[in-house]
Structure 1
């Protein structure tokens, strides 16, 4: 087993089969990077997580549990991915100097969801902040979808759009009501513009302002075992 205090030997670099595609999604052409075969020996990240004793309910709106990742993971993001990210999202190197990363496991039953957890969300209303989702599970656990708000046609929310968006959303919820479960496809308020299946060691990179949600189906088993559940690493890159 890996010593959780000494994390520098967990990661050896990018996988030998590392590959990526860059997409422009939706009518607003927001960038999306999909990386397959991201890290060599990615299963060691699960071994590390299993030794941690600081797993807690997530702060904010994530519907589940979170715990810190090894520092080596965050360092590798900056060392290996920063040039690709800056080029794709038209950022200067100073825009992504810091990385916040968390092991994440969906754990909140439908009946305990808050209203904001039942619809697509954005992480920050700042297009210069970047989100990453690294799958440490397989396709059976559901992927990630990106959405368009039907009435406004917004596919991302920045500070200039936020007031208008939330005003329209409040009026629609008053009219149609709030969905009772996780969103997993088209609804009266939102339409799915693209869905990316989960795949072990797949990494998605997108703007924090993009409307998105995990694909959590009605039959999701809420498996609390990181070796068999919907286990991911969520990261946020910022200045």
Structure 2
């Protein structure tokens, strides 16, 4: 499923673990796009994770194979020692800017409820040809942790943030500074520390489409792991 001889690059993110970038990630990416098209009716929105569109779980076999790649090529760069859990799913961003929940207008982290010594990582595989639909950007808060936490709690409760902009976050604002952007490329995978604030770089939302063959289709992976001892 995955390239057995990947060319792995490490993109620096200031003050953070690097972003691991792998081009030509899947051996047959078009087959996964075709799978998404065939299963389009089974995609569903999960209101608990605030992804701006429907998703489809890919099952444990795919998740375990993704974890094998993570173990072999990625975990050391992200400070991981042993995987605790892993999940993989297809995702299709479809929401127009005027329908976004306040929390979806901000960057976020994938590290809720982490126990001491446990870390989080995420993977995104871009499965669309039009790079204008956007890659992924990383951010750092510009205010004290308490102020950032208040902002996120208010957004979670549905209060519009005063961070500027009514759509997808694509640039620095009063609360977050954009520190790195990884452009999208068909069959490019990125792996990153889930404790870094990040957001999809959707600067052209008019291009989003509900057809997996035409829209911003991605394969997303989520890992929980035991951190490596210092």
TM-score between both structures, scaled by the size of structure 1:
0.80
Is residue 166 of structure 1 aligned with residue 157 of structure 2? Answer: no
Q: Which residue of 2 aligns with 1:108?
A: 95
2:7 to 19, 37, 40: 19
Counterpart CA distance in 2 for 1:68 and 1:170 is 28
Q: Which residue of 2 aligns with 1:150?
A: 142
User: How far is 1:33 from its partner?
Assistant: 0.6
Is residue 31 of structure 1 aligned with residue 18 of structure 2? Answer: yes
Counterpart CA distance in 2 for 1:121 and 1:40 is 31
Q: Which residue of 1 aligns with 2:79?
A: 90
Alignment check: 8 A CA contact 2:140 2:196 kept = no
User: How far is 1:116 from its partner?
Assistant: 0.8
Structure ID, larger Rg: 1
1:227 to 194, 197, 213: 213
Q: Which residue of 1 aligns with 2:228?
A: none
- Superposition pairs of residues 74-223 of structure 1, within 5 angstroms: 74-93=63-82, 96-125=83-112, 126=114, 128-138=119-129, 139-152=131-144, 163=146, 165-167=148-150, 176=162, 179-223=165-209
The structure, 1 or 2, with the larger RCO (C-alpha pairs under 8 Å, 6+ apart) is 2
Residue 170 and residue 131 in structure 1: after superposition, are their counterparts in 2 closer, same or farther (change >3 A)?
closer
Residue 235 and residue 44 in structure 1: after superposition, are their counterparts in 2 closer, same or farther (change >3 A)?
same
Counterpart CA distance in 1 for 2:161 and 2:85 is 41
Alignment check: 8 A CA contact 2:148 2:175 kept = no
Any idea what SS the aligned residue of 2:33 has? helix
Any idea what SS the aligned residue of 1:121 has? coil
TM-score between both structures, scaled by the size of structure 2:
0.83
User: What is the aligned length?
Assistant: 215
Any idea what SS the aligned residue of 1:101 has? strand
Alignment check: 8 A CA contact 1:119 1:179 kept = no
Residue 83 and residue 228 in structure 1: after superposition, are their counterparts in 2 closer, same or farther (change >3 A)?
same
User: How far is 1:210 from its partner?
Assistant: 0.8
Q: Deviations over 1:119-175 (max 9, x none)?
A: 1111214471111111111312111100122223xxxxxxxx5x553136679x899
